[in-house]
Amino acid sequence: MMIARVQGSVVASFKHRDYESKNVFVIQPLDADLNPVGNSLLAVDGAKAGVGDIVLIVDEGGSAKIVLEDSNLSAIRCVIAGIIDSVDLEI
């Protein structure tokens, strides 16, 4: 799992059947201090997220199937599993 910020949405005129009727977003992974880290990714929305939201991402196909409640998915790997309200660190 990782934390990310939703940067924008993706529009496609043709999609693999696993992506039909699903929103796809560009996400930017974040570190624990919510600073950008690494490259942007694409993720299927499983949590009704929107642009600017801080989200919890799972980047593994089996977890994506569980979050999206569809055991027949094969082409989806990265999915938004939740919207994060706050991050509190105890150091």
Categorise residue 52: left if φ over 0, alpha if ψ from -120 to 50, beta otherwise: left
pLDDT at 59: 84
pLDDT at 78: 86
pLDDT at 91: 72
Render each residue's pLDDT in the chain as its tens digit; 91 residues: 899 999 999 998 888 887 788 899 999 999 988 999 999 999 989 899 999 999 999 987 676 667 766 676 666 778 999 999 988 888 7
Angle at 67 between CA 64 and CA 68, to 5 degrees: 85
Burial class from Cβ neighbours inside 10 Å (0-12, 13-18, 19+) for residue 22 reads middle
Q: What domains are there in the chain, each with its CATH number?
A: 1-54 (2.40.50.220)
Which amino acid belongs to residue 48?
Answer: K
